[in-house]
């Protein structure tokens, strides 16, 4: 996670902000205390990492979108971690223009035309963020044991400083972040956000260079899955 280009810090665009104000520097302790019902939008650090959360993003369409998302062609992939082959602890499907490679796995994209529900969600996300998104990875978490480990969405296909927008449907899940400096990530001072049904989380600016994120296991989540489409707006040098 090393930045090799100069970042110009500027206030993010606020097109379609739904009356949410950009708060400048966020108080990270307040994020941890806010639960799943409080919105926020601001800088995570002094390096230009921006985080935004809207708990009621899809309040009108959440149930309909969740029902339609469940019909997508999910499958369990296999990845390589430290040279060993593992089945991913979740189900995925990928839509976009180009193949996506991570952890030794390459996914060929499905056409957007096969998922009208994702086109509906993308249109709404774009109206809020002012960004244009060209790919989406849908994660289906079958229960509280399904998870995503620590990582950053910094694959070359995304370019520098992409905007990642994730919408959560179904069971609430925790979303953790930890700051990284000079190749080392801090174990202290982590942030935990409880992602609500129908919520939108947006990571932008230098977040993928300066932070890692994960979706940990959560005890007690049974028979109620969470589905998280994560859309990417790439940056090109």
Which of 147, 149, 164, 173 has the alpha carbon at shortest distance from 226? 173
> And the tokens for 107?
């996914």
Q: Looking at residue 139, what is its pLDDT?
A: 95
- Enumerate domains of the chain plus CATH numbers: 28-233 (2.60.120.590)
User: Does residue 227 register a pLDDT over 90?
Assistant: no
Q: What is the pLDDT confidence band of residue 30, given thresholds at 50, 70 and 90? A: confident
Mean pLDDT of 23-30: 88
Give the chain's end-to-end CA distance (angstroms, integer). Answer: 17
64/104: higher pLDDT: 64
71-83 pLDDT, tens per residue? 999 999 998 888 8
Mean pLDDT of 1-26: 56
Mean pLDDT of 193-199: 95
130/28: higher pLDDT: 130
DSSP sequence for 194-220 = EEPTTEEEEEEETHHHHEEEEE---TT
Report the distance separating Cα 213 and Cα 204, nearest Å: 13
Report the distance separating Cα 90 and Cα 92, nearest Å: 7
Q: Looking at residue 17, what is its pLDDT?
A: 53
Q: What is the pLDDT confidence band of residue 157, given thresholds at 50, 70 and 90? A: confident
187/13: higher pLDDT: 187
- CA torsion sign for 177, 101, 184, 218 is positive
Count Cβ atoms below 10 Å from residue 133 Cβ, excluding itself: 23
Q: Looking at residue 209, what is its pLDDT?
A: 94
pTM: 0.88
Question: Mean pLDDT lowest for which of 8-22, 114-128, 146-160, 210-224?
Answer: 8-22
User: Does residue 229 register a pLDDT over 60?
Assistant: yes
User: Does residue 196 register a pLDDT over 80?
Assistant: yes
> And the tokens for 112?
């957007």
229/8: higher pLDDT: 229
Report the distance separating Cα 233 and Cα 154, nearest Å: 12
Pairing between β-strand 173-181 and β-strand 105-107 as defined by DSSP bridges:
unpaired
Q: What is the pLDDT confidence band of residue 21, given thresholds at 50, 70 and 90? A: confident
Mean pLDDT of 133-147: 94
Mean pLDDT of 206-226: 85
Q: Percentage helix, strand, coil, to 5, in the chain?
A: 15, 35, 45
Q: Looking at residue 11, what is its pLDDT?
A: 54
The whole-chain average pLDDT of the chain stands at 87
Residue 21 CB partners (closer than 8 Å, separation 6+)? 41
Q: Is 101 left (phi over 0), alpha (psi -120 to 50) or beta?
A: beta
Q: What is the pLDDT confidence band of residue 226, given thresholds at 50, 70 and 90? A: confident
User: Does residue 165 register a pLDDT over 60?
Assistant: yes
């Amino acid at each position: 996670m090393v930045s090799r280009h100069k970042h110009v810090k500027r206030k993010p665009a606020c097109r379609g902000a739904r009356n949410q104000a950009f708060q400048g520097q966020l108080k990270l302790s307040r994020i941890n205390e806010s639960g799943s019902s409080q919105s926020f939008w601001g800088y995570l650090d002094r390096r230009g990492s921006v985080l935004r959360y809207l708990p009621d993003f899809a309040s009108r369409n959440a149930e309909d979108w969740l029902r339609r998302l469940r019909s997508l062609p999910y499958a369990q992939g296999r990845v390589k971690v430290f040279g060993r082959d593992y089945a991913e602890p979740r189900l995925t499907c990928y839509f976009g223009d180009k193949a996506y490679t991570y952890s030794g796995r390459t996914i060929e994209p499905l056409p957007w035309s096969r998922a009208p529900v994702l086109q509906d969600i993308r249109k709404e996300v774009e109206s809020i963020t002012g960004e244009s998104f060209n790919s989406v990875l849908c994660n289906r978490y079958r229960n509280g044991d399904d998870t995503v480990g620590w990582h950053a969405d910094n694959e070359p296909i995304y370019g520098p400083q992409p905007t990642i927008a994730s919408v959560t449907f179904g069971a609430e899940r925790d979303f953790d972040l930890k700051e990284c400096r000079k190749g080392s990530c801090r174990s202290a001072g982590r942030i935990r956000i409880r992602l609500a049904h129908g919520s939108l989380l947006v990571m932008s600016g230098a977040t993928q260079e300066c932070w890692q994120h994960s979706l940990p296991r959560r005890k007690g989540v049974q028979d109620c899955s969470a589905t998280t489409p994560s859309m990417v707006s790439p940056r090109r040098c």
